[in-house]
Structure formats: C-alpha cells, structure tokens
Chain A
Amino acid sequence: MSLLRPERSEAALNGAFDAVKSRSLTRLAFERFSRNKVAVVSTIILAVLVLLAIFAPVAEILTGYTMEFQDRNFYSAKPPNWEAKHFLGTDQNGRDIMVRVIFGMRISMLVALVAATVALVVGVLYGAISGLVGGWVDVLMMRFLDLLISYPLTLIAVIALAYFGRNIYIVFAIIGLVEWQIMARVVRGQVLSLRNSDFIEAARATGVPTTSIVLHHIIPNVIGIAVVYLTLTIPEVILVESFLGFLGLGVQEPNTSLGVLISEGATRVEHKPWLVFSPGVFLVLLLMSLNFIGDGLRDAFDPKDR
C-alpha cells in the first residue's frame, strides 16, 4: 500500500502528526484550564481589575476628582456620598477613595509585574546554573537555597528599604529579590529532568554543541513552567509589597498602593471602616484571582502534580 501511494500516506502521516501536535501541550492545557470554572471566573475578575488599572484616568474623568484633589467639603474621612460622586467615600484629606484605590491598584500591579520579573530572572538564572553545572556547585547552591527558604527575607527587605530610600525602582528590585527561591528550585528540577531525558541525550550524541542544546532544547522547555510559577509568584509579590506599604516602607506619597491605603485605614476601622474596606476588597480580589489562576495553570500544565 505504502509502496503504491507513498505521497498520500506520507501526507496522511503528516496530517496525523499535525493533529497530534496541535492538540499536544498548549491546547490540552488550555482545555484543562477552561474546564476549571474557578480559574475561568478568576480570569474574568482579573481582566476587569487589569482594565480598571490600565484605564485608571477614566475614573478621574468620570468622578471629576483627581488622585490628589482635596475636596474641601469632605475633609476628615466622610462616608460614601453618591450625589457628590464620592462613591467609596473620602480619606482624611478629603481625597476620593475610589480614584485612589484604582490608582493604588495600578501601582501595586506595576510593582508586582516588575518585581516578579526580577524574581523570574534571578530564579531562572540561579536554577539553570545550578542544574546545568551540576556537581559540587549544584550541591552548594541548593544547600544555600535550603537555608534561605526558612529565613525571614522580608525582614531583610524591611531593613534594605528603610536604608536605601523608597524609590520605586528600589522597591521593585528588593521585592524581586525576596521571592525567587521557589522559582529557582522548580527551574532546577526541570533542568535536571531535561538533562537526563532521551532527546537531550540524542542531541548530544549527534554532536549538537552545548550552547545550541541550551538555546534550542532546554530554554523552550523551561519557559512554560517558569511562566506558570510566575503567575504564582505575582500574588506573593503583591502581598510583600502591600506588607511593606502597610508598614510605611512602600511607595511614597504622590503615589499610593493598596497596602499604603489599607494601613491608612487600619487604625481607624472603629469609626471609619470604609477607609480600609475598599482597598481591602480590591487587594483580596486581586490576590484571590491570581492565586486561582496560578493554581489552575499549574494543574493544567502539570496534571500529575494534583
């Protein structure tokens, strides 16, 4: 049969391969992810929050209040007032809370993205070097990581922020340096299992140079899992940022973040609960959706881990 019509069977074979390939990794993962209702709902919530953050100036236009405008009639934290378009109330200085929360969320997301990228770069580099070099370097690096994981790095971040100022770039870097260990460990595990896999063996046996193996076989296979853990790192980073902001060590005054807003309200919750509730709700929604999306992605890409 195949001798008679080789081109057709080849085409069929190619088609079969195409079908298998197109259903292989990403598609299957996407299907698994979309069957996870919690994750899908979280994605929608996150999309709304991200849109709010991106189009934050629209809130200024709609309410007519800028972030720093101090409404003289609403000094010293007044409750929500719909006639005056203070939909979530005002703070001590008469500034509109809704606008501030949306802008604060914008800063929180920005910090989260950049700091998580820092964590990604550091973690991937550390894990990849540890896994690729192997030997005593690997042992040493992993032992160091073991020690670091049970270590209050957030306290070191507090010290560093107190000393090196509250410049937003410094906040990015320091928070990124707190949350990279899990990433490093995951990447190292992936690199190790790749190194022992058959196709790398085959590539090595056919004489592919090491740099080419790393570039074409190891990096593409590590990126997927790194991105999955990136979505799990982002909520951690947001949490650290809001913690530092809560203690008065986060971004500085013209800017604000969810943690800063919560800390402004936390001590006045007895008489003025709306000060803390609106940023609190937004923070919880953000963390919750990110956590569920991260869990969903991990389950989708790595179903054996469930």
Chain B
Amino acid sequence: MAYVFRRFGQMLILVVIALAAVFSTQRLAPGGPFDGEKPPPPEILANLRAYYDMDLGMPSQFMGYLFGMAARDVGQSGRPGRVHWLTIPDRAKVSITGSIYDELTDDDLLVRKWCPWDEWLSRWVSSKPDQRPLRKCGVLRGDFGLSMTKRNIYVNDYVRDGLPGTLKYAVPSLLFALFLGVPMGFLAAYFQNTRVDFAMVSAGMVGTIIPNLVMGPILIYLLAIQLDGFFHWLFVDYLDWVELSRRQRTLNLIPSGKSGGPIHYFLPTLVLGTALLGRIVRLSRAGALEALRSNYVRTARSKGLPNWLILFRHVLKPGILPVVTYLGPVSAVILTGSLVIEYTFSLPGLGSQFISAATDRDYTLLMGTTVILLVFVIVLNFIVDLLYTWLDPRIRTEGSPT
C-alpha cells in the first residue's frame, strides 16, 4: 500500500511540474491568444491581459491558476479601456457555476458564486464553503477559468462536452485489446512454435505495423464503403430484403452526429484497439511462456491437474504481469490514438479541443485539457499499480518492484 501511495505522490508531483512547464512555456513563447488577424486596440488589449492576469509575474500567475484569485482592481492603474472587467460593476451579471452560453457583452463580468468543487471539498474538509465571489477559483477547486478565444465560455464546459467523447472510445478499445490480446497471447504460448503461434503473433503485428492514421482510412474504405456496398447490393438489389434508397448505408458504420447505436463504436474501437493488440499479444505470450516453463506448473501437471485448470490457476496471474506493466505507457498510446480517430472520423472530443487550443494559443483551454489528459494518465497508472500489487505479492512485502 505504501508503495502505491508513493507512486501516486510521485505522479502528482510530476503533474505539477508538467503543468508549470506547460504554463511557463506557453507564456514565454512568441505570440499570444489575442493577436490574430485584427488585434484589439491597445487599451482593450491591456485590459484583456489584466483580466487574465497576464500582466503579473509568472509565479503569481501560476499560483493564481492553481489556488485561485479574488477580484483585482487594476482599473485605476492608468490603463483606461472600454472593458472594466476587473472592477465589479453593479450591473454585471453574476453567473453561477455551469454553462454560460447566453449572450454577454464586454461589460459583463463572470464571477463564480461558489467554486465548482467547493461543496464537495467543504464536506471533505468539514468547513463552511467560501462565499466570497472569486474571479478565479483555481484548478484545485475545480475551476479551469474562462476560455481565452471564446471569452464567454468556461473551460469546464468544454471539458464536460469533450471528455465523454474521448472516454467513449478509449475505454472500449482498451477492453477490446485486453480481452482479445491476452487470450491470443496465451494461445500462442500454449502452442509455442506451431502455426497457431505464428498466426496469433502475426495477427497482432498487423495493428502494430499499420499505424492508426493509416488504419483508420483503410478500415473506412474496406468496411464502411466496400463491404457496405456489397451488403447494399446483396440485401437491397439482389435479395430485395431491405428497402433503402441508393445513397443510404446498410451497415451505417461511420460514426456521425450524436445519434448512433453501438455499431458506431465498431470502427473507432477497432482502430484504437489494434494499435495496442500486437504489444499485448507479445507481452502476454512472453509472460505465459515463462510461467509455463516454471517448476510449479510442472508440479501441477505431474499432479494430474487438467490443462485448463493449470492455465487459469497457475499461468493466468503471472502471465498477465508483463501486460499490466505495459498498461501504464498504454495510456499515452490511447491518448495519441484518440487524437487520430477524432480527426479521421471527425468526432467531437477532448483531443480536437486540445489541438485547436494549442494552435489558437488559448492558454486556459490548453491548460484545462492538459490537466484532464494528465489526470487520465495518472488514474490509469494508479490502477496499474494497484493491479500490480495485487498480482505480484513480492511488491507487497518488499515495498518496491525490481
């Protein structure tokens, strides 16, 4: 347990370092979110920069981003402008947490009445929720701030809209790769150096060799267009079973819009899952081979245990150990893969928001998406560590792997 908590602590420290790195590089890099085709007049620019605290020093900006910041009054500092976001005018609309999609003028001030996680946090820390109106609550209290390019939308709303779209395909593809890859690897190990072995390993290799940015278009072409056309000909023209117009699809494999049955999961899951499959097959094959060669399996065999029982009782746990260690780096593969499938299938998701935030230099949106993606990685790594301690008793006693 202590080991797991230490790992978790290390990951948290690394996240803070990574956030600081991203935060400082994006602010030190040339260019900014407000210089586009038509930069705003200098007074407004100054006000905008002040509103997002970009006129402060880097450390206080970062602290403000992490821990929040009350309203600052910089309207008097000799930089008059049309926008007075920093002083709180009486007519300002004070919005509660949630989506701010209604029309806002430049005079409106977005102030959170309470921070997104305050109720939740106060229950944990057992204190009264802070009722001061904060302009920024800080990431630690669940506020990612206002987007910099679309200045009336909170990043929290972007995340809430985008995250399900990413997880929707990431989780099934991971499960697909695990539940297909591990049995394939075990089969390959059990029939080592036979045709079965060769077939399993090379089937897994296909996904590794064809990168998912090529796999996506190829599968669309083969399954969603050619196979679909064949079924269209078979069911509609030849057998006359289904009534469809010429342009309608029979299988409807390409995910589009929000309406979509489970069939829409098929192609993205396949594209993401096959990228992981080869590695998982190889690792589980290696793990199972090592377990099969071990003395305790020989003992079990000589005891007369049936093969399936040996596989489940003695080979399964040590056999999937290498796969479990691979699950940590897998999170990075899934993330990059989900960027690719979001582009290929034009799906909405965090990945596309991440890319557009990076190219538009939307600092707050980029920080928000980065935080979420890193948390995804951390959670997966944490689960891996838990699994590992459960699978490998040596860690529990020694407190450290290797």
Contact = CB atoms under 8 A, between A and B. Distances in A.
B355 A158 contact: yes
The 8 A-B residue pairs with the shortest CB-CB distance, nearest first, are A162-B358, A150-B328, A163-B29, A152-B332, A280-B214, A269-B217, A276-B217, A246-B213
A249, A263, A280, A284 pick with most chain B CB within 10 angstroms:
A280
19 contacts: A150-B377, A152-B373, A159-B26, A159-B366, A163-B29, A164-B30, A243-B211, A243-B340, A246-B340, A248-B359, A249-B359, A263-B213, A266-B344, A269-B217, A270-B221, A283-B211, A284-B214, A287-B211, A291-B209
Nearest to B27: A163
A48 interface: no
A283 B355 contact: no
Contacts of A247: 339-340, 343, 355
B335 A155 contact: yes
Given A154-B332, A246-B340, A247-B339, A147 B26 contact: no
A262 B220 CA distance: 14
Contact of B31 (A150, A163, A276, A291): A163
B358 A150 contact: no
A284 to B, nearest CB: 5
Given A242-B213, A267-B344, A150 B355 contact: no
B97 interface: no
A266 B213 contact: yes
A159 B220 CA distance: 29
A149 B343 CA distance: 26
A287 B31 CA distance: 36
A226 interface: no
B346 A152 contact: no
Contacts of B339: 158, 243, 247
Contact of A246 (B14, B224, B343): B343
Contact of A158 (B18, B332, B346, B358): B358
Interface of A: 143, 147, 149-156, 158-160, 162-164, 239, 242-243, 246-249, 259, 262-263, 265-267, 269-270, 273, 276-277, 280, 283-284, 287-288, 291
A264 to B, nearest CB: 11
Contacts of B340: 243, 246-247
A267 B208 CA distance: 22
B227 interface: no
Contacts of B208: 291
Nearest to B22: A159
Contacts of A259: 213
Interface string B369-384: 0100110010001000
B56 interface: no
B277 to A, nearest CB: 15
Contacts of A150: 328-329, 331-332, 377, 381
A284 B332 contact: no
A248 B211 CA distance: 17
Nearest to B21: A156
Given A152-B331, A265-B217, A284 B377 contact: no
Contact of B25 (A158, A163, A267, A277): A163
Contact of A266 (B10, B30, B217, B331): B217
Interface in B29-55: 29-31
Contacts of A154: 332, 335-336
B203 interface: no
A99 B271 CA distance: 29
